[in-house]
Structure 1
Amino acid sequence: MRTIAEINDKITRNCAVVWTVEELKARVAEIGVTQAAKQVDVITTGTFEPMESSGAIINLGHTDPPIKIRSCWLDGVSAYAGFGAVDLYLGATQVVEYSSTGEVLDLRTTNGTAREQRGGGHVIEDLIAGKSVQLRAIGQVTDCYPRASFDTTISRDTINQFYLYNPRNLYQNFIVGVNGGDRPLFTYLGPLQPRLGNAVYSNTGAISPLLNDPDLNLIGIGTRIFLGGGIGYVAWEGTQHFPLQKRLPNHTPVGPAATVALMGDAKQMDRKWVRGCYFKNYGPSLMLGVGVPLPVLQEEVVARCAVKDQDIVAPVVDFSIPRRVRPTFGLVSYAQLKSGRITIEGKPVRAAPLASMYLSNQVARELKQWIEAGTFTLTEAVAHLPMDRSFLPQDRWGSAIALE
C-alpha cells in the first residue's frame, strides 16, 4: 500500500494521518481493518515502565594534568570506568556506596534512608534535569596520565557525550508475579504479599510497542523512536532476546520474548520521561518512556495492531519458589489483569501494573504530535532483528572457591 518514503513525504507536508494505537483499535471496531488501513499512515505506540537494564555513557573530558580513571562515583554511585580514560558507564540499578558526608554504606542491606535508596537511575534523572552531581574519581597513574585523583561537580552542560545505551528494553510481554508462600517477598516487581495476597504485572498489554508488531516486521536496527522525551534508535537486539517463545495464533507470545537495545542523546531528554525509582528491599531502577511509530505499509499492519487485551496472555509465576524455573498458575489475559482482579485456584487476587497506563498513552500521544508537526520522520531499518535466538540459561553449578 505505501512505502516509508511516501509516508515521510506526507509527514514533511503535514498531511500524514497519525493515530495512537488506542485510537486505531477504536476505529477498527467502528469501520473494520480494511477501511482503517486506507485512512491511517502511522500508528504510534508507547510505554512508561521500569526498565532496569538501562544506563548512560558519559565522557567527562580530560583534566589537566590528565587522569586515567579506574574507579569513579557520581553522587556516591559507582560508575564503570574500565574502558577510555574519562569514559564512564552508569548503570540504572547501581546502588549508592557512600553518603554525601563520605560515610561508606553497607551494600548488604537495601532498606536504608532516602539517601541510601538512591541509585544510578536517580543520578541519570538528575543529570537530565540539569542538576549538578558530585564526581569523585581515582586514577591509575601512568606517564601519560599522571593525575591520581579528581573531585568536582558535573552537570549535563559540563560533560561531552551523555547518552543512554540500554541493553534490554521493551520486553515483548512479561510475567505476572505472585507469592504463594507465608512471608512477604520484595522483588523486581515490587512487594508480593504472602498467600496470594496480590499480583503484579509490568507489561502494558495491547498498547505495548512490540506486541503490536509481534513478528518484528517493522521494528529493526535503526528504527527511530521516542526515547525519554528525545529521539532515540533501536541499536541491536536486546539481551535475553527470545523470539522463539511459544505464541498464540495471533502471533503474540505467551511470556517474555523479544527485546531491543536502545540508545539516544540524553541531553535532549526530559526528566518527565526518565525517572529514577526504588523498589523496597530490592534496589533502584529507572522508569522510562519509550514510543515506537509503526508505519502502515500494508493492511496486515493494522490487523496486527487491532489486537485486544483479551487476546494477549501472560503466565502467573510463583516467586515463593527460589529457583530460576518457578511453578506457574497458568495464563491470564491482560483484560483480566486490567480489570484489577484475577482468579487463582478459585481465589480472587488483586492485580496492579508497574507500568503507568496513563503515561504510556501520553507517550504515544506526544509522539503522534511530533509526527503531525513534521518534526519526526520515520526510518528504514538497516537490518531485521533476529528471530531465531534461543535462551541459554546457566544450569551447571560453578565450582566453589574455598576461603581459608
Structure 2
Amino acid sequence: MPQTVAQINEKIIAKKAKVLTVNELKALVAAEGVKAAAKQVDVITTGTFEPTESAGAMMNLGHTDPPIKIRACWIDGVPAYAGLGAVDLYLGATQELILDAAVDEEAIDRGGGHVIADLIAGKSLSLRANGQANDCFPRTLLETTINKDSINQFYLYNPRGLYQNFIVGVNGGDRQLYTYLGPLQPRLGNAVYSNPGAVSPLWNDPDLRLIGVGTKVFMGGGIGYISWEGTQHFPLQKRLPNRTPIGPASTLALIGDAKQMSPQWVRGCYFRNYGSALMLGVGIPLPVIDEEVVVMAAVQDQDLIAPVIDFSIPRRVRPTFGSVTYAQLKSGRITIDGQKVRTAPLASIYLSNQVAIMLKAWIEAGKFTLTEPVAMIPADRPFVPQDAREL
C-alpha cells in the first residue's frame, strides 16, 4: 500500500518504522519477492565510503583585532582560497602542500583532505595569513593556530560528493602509471575500481525519483543535505533495462556541518605521484512509498556494469576493454583479452555497509527523520567537453 514520507516520519518518531539496510532488503526480495518485501519495510538505508576529489571545507575564522582582509592563507602549510569575504576561506581536498625546496616531492603524502580530516578530528593546526591593508582592515599578517572550536563556521561543501557509477582503470602500456585510481601496473597487471557497487546510494534510485535538493543524508558521521546536482552530472548516460547507467552518470553536490562529523567517516588520502583527496562516508535513506522503490533497490552487483578503461592512452576519450559487472570486480579477478587480471576497490566495501547500518540505527532510534526534496535533480544534463578556442 502506498504511503507518504510524512506517514513514514510519524512511524520513525514513534520508533515503529521498519528499517532495512539495502543489503537486507535485497536478501528479503530474493527470498520472498517484491510485493512481500514492500509490505515489510518503510525505509531502506544505503551507504558508501569512497574517495572524492571535488570536496572541500568552508571556514569563517572570525575577525582579528585589528581586523585583517585575508588575501593569502596557509593552514598547516596547505594553501586555502581567500578570494571571498575578509576572513572566509575555502580549503580544497586536493590542494597540495607547499614544499620547501629541500624536500623530496615524492616524500610528501599530505594535502587539503588531510587538513580537513585533522580539523574534524579535533586537532589544532597552524595558520598563516597575509592581509591587504586598507582603512577597514589594516592588519597585514596573522600567525595563529586554529581548531574546529576556535572558528565560526566549518562545513564541508562537496561540489561532486557522490557518484552513481564510475570506471575501472587498467594500464595496457609498458610502464607503471600513477593515477587518481592509484598505481596501475603495466601490461594489465591490475584493475582498480572506486564504486562499492549495489550498496551505494544512487544505484538504488537510478532515476533519482526519491532524491533531490534538500534530501537529508548521513555525511561524514553527521547530518548533511543534497544541495544541487553535482559537477559532471550526466544523467543522459546510456542505461540498462534496469535503468542503471553503463558508466559515469549522475552526481550530487553535498553540504554538511563538519563540526558534527567524525574522523571515522572523514579521512584524508594521498595517491602517490598524483595528489590528495578525501575519503567520505555518505548514506541516503530511501522512503518506501510504493513497490517501485523496492523493485529499483533490489538490484544486485551482477546487474551493474562499469567500463574498463585503458589509462595508457593519454586522451580525453580512452580506449576500453568492454564492461564488467561489479560481481566480477568483487570476485578479485576479471578477464581482459583472455588474460586474468586481479582487481581491487578504492572504496571500502566494509565501511560502505557500516554507513548503511549506522544510518539504520539512527532512524530506528528516532534520531533521523526523512525529508522530501524541495527540487528534483535535472534529468536532462548533457556532458560538455572543453576544447581550446580562439577569441
Query: Into which bin does the TM-score normalised by the smaller protein fall?
Result: over 0.9
CA offset digits 1:100-150 (Å, max 9, x no partner): xxx4577xx8512xxx32111101111111100100000011110000010
Offset at residue 170 of structure 1 (A): 1.4
Q: Who is 2:82 aligned against?
A: 81
Offset at residue 169 of structure 1 (A): 1.6
SS in 1 for 2:254: strand
Q: Who is 2:55 aligned against?
A: 54
User: In the alignment, is residue 354 of structure 1 matched against residue 346 of structure 2?
Assistant: yes
On the 8 A contact 1:135/1:153 being kept in 2, the answer is yes
On the 8 A contact 1:97/1:105 being kept in 2, the answer is no
User: In the alignment, is residue 125 of structure 1 matched against residue 117 of structure 2?
Assistant: yes
Give the one of 187, 206, 211 matched to 1:195: 187
Q: Who is 1:182 aligned against?
A: 174
1:273 aligned partner, one-letter code: W
Q: Who is 2:370 aligned against?
A: 378
User: In the alignment, is residue 318 of structure 1 matched against residue 319 of structure 2?
Assistant: no
User: In the alignment, is residue 301 of structure 1 matched against residue 293 of structure 2?
Assistant: yes
Residue 124 and residue 36 in structure 1: after superposition, are their counterparts in 2 closer, same or farther (change >3 A)? same
Q: Which blocks of at least 5 consecutive residues in structure 2 are unaligned?
A: none
Superposed counterparts of 1:1-400, under 5 Å = 1-98=2-99, 103=100, 110-112=105-107, 116-396=108-388
* Identity of matched residues, %: 72
CA offset digits 1:290-338 (Å, max 9, x no partner): 0000000000000000001111100000000001100000011111101
SS in 2 for 1:63: coil
Residue 158 and residue 176 in structure 1: after superposition, are their counterparts in 2 closer, same or farther (change >3 A)? same
On the 8 A contact 1:275/1:288 being kept in 2, the answer is yes
On the 8 A contact 1:110/1:280 being kept in 2, the answer is no
Residue 60 and residue 325 in structure 1: after superposition, are their counterparts in 2 closer, same or farther (change >3 A)? same
How far apart, in 1, do the equivalents of 2:35 and 2:69 lie? 61
1:142 aligned partner, one-letter code: N
How far apart, in 2, do the equivalents of 1:20 and 1:395 lie? 44
On the 8 A contact 1:36/1:302 being kept in 2, the answer is yes
How far apart, in 1, do the equivalents of 2:119 and 2:375 lie? 33
1:24 aligned partner, one-letter code: L
How far apart, in 1, do the equivalents of 2:177 and 2:200 lie? 27
SS in 1 for 2:371: coil
On the 8 A contact 1:59/1:160 being kept in 2, the answer is yes
How far apart, in 2, do the equivalents of 1:194 and 1:395 lie? 29
How far apart, in 2, do the equivalents of 1:184 and 1:195 lie? 9
On the 8 A contact 1:183/1:194 being kept in 2, the answer is yes
Residue 398 and residue 80 in structure 1: after superposition, are their counterparts in 2 closer, same or farther (change >3 A)? farther
CA offset digits 1:233-262 (Å, max 9, x no partner): 000000000000000000000000000000
CA offset digits 1:35-82 (Å, max 9, x no partner): 000110000000001011100000000000000000000000000000
How far apart, in 1, do the equivalents of 2:309 and 2:321 lie? 6
How far apart, in 1, do the equivalents of 2:254 and 2:63 lie? 27
1:35 aligned partner, one-letter code: A
Is 63-72 or 202-211 further displaced after alignment? 202-211
On the 8 A contact 1:110/1:283 being kept in 2, the answer is no
Moved over 6 A (4+): none
Q: Who is 1:402 aligned against?
A: none
Aligned length: 390
Offset at residue 397 of structure 1 (A): 5.7
Offset at residue 398 of structure 1 (A): 6.6
RMSD of Structure 2 on Structure 1 (CA): 1.1
1:164 aligned partner, one-letter code: L
How far apart, in 2, do the equivalents of 1:148 and 1:334 lie? 54
Offset at residue 158 of structure 1 (A): 0.3
Offset at residue 395 of structure 1 (A): 2.8
2:194 aligned partner, one-letter code: S
Residue 365 and residue 168 in structure 1: after superposition, are their counterparts in 2 closer, same or farther (change >3 A)? same
How far apart, in 2, do the equivalents of 1:65 and 1:304 lie? 58
Offset at residue 31 of structure 1 (A): 0.6
SS in 2 for 1:71: strand
On the 8 A contact 1:95/1:117 being kept in 2, the answer is no
CA offset digits 1:12-54 (Å, max 9, x no partner): 0000000000000001111100000011000000000101110
